[in-house]
């Protein structure tokens, strides 16, 4: 229980780690998106039929902004539980984002995934399994739990893509 209290006391540090790793995605995605709209000259999303290259540049910008969400969660989890938390948190945030959870869903997925992986790493296992735990078992089980919570929780919270 003391460990959980210590992790929660450092929540600000974990969130700042995620945000600092997310910033390059926001900057590059936002600038590319803005440049494509500016060069199109009509103040709108470039049309693929009239200017396919600007539309591709716009799509690259959107990709950067879309990747912002899973990377935010991944590095929040990384701050809590190191590398084993990267995949569970990123996938959990992606799943949550598909239900419309967005930025706040990424914060939640990062914290949940980081805590899940932290406690999975504490489970005592036979020495034969110790080498595969951080690269195979923990990421799979952590992803299953984190993505499951995000899927169920985001749906329950009403963050549905159909709204």
State if pTM tops 0.85: yes
**Residue 56's pLDDT is what?**
94
Segment 89-113, tens digit of pLDDT:
999 999 999 888 889 999 999 999 9
**Residue 155's pLDDT is what?**
66
Segment 125-145, tens digit of pLDDT:
999 999 999 999 999 999 999
Residue 162 has pLDDT above 60, yes or no: no
Interacting residues of 112 by C-beta distance below 8 A, sequence separation 6+: 92, 146, 149, 150
Sign of the Cα pseudo-torsion (64, 104, 11, 114, in order)? negative
Q: Where are the domains of the chain?
A: 2-156
Mean pLDDT of the chain: 91
């Amino acid at each position: 229980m003391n460990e959980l209290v210590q992790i929660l006391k450092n929540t600000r540090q974990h969130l700042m780690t995620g945000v600092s790793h997310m910033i390059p995605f926001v900057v590059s995605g936002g600038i590319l998106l803005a440049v494509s709209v500016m060069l199109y000259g009509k103040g709108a999303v470039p049309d693929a039929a009239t200017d396919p290259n600007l539309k591709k540049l716009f799509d690259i910008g959107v990709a950067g902004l879309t990747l912002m969400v899973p990377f935010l969660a991944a590095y929040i989890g990384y701050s809590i539980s190191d590398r084993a938390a990267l995949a569970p948190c990123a996938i959990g945030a992606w799943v949550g984002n598909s239900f419309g959870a967005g930025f706040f869903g990424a914060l939640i997925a990062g914290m949940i995934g980081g805590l899940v992986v932290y406690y999975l790493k504490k489970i005592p296992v036979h020495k034969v399994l110790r080498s595969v735990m951080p690269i195979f078992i923990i990421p799979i089980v952590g992803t299953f739990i984190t993505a499951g919570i995000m899927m169920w929780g985001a749906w329950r919270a009403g963050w549905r893509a159909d709204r």
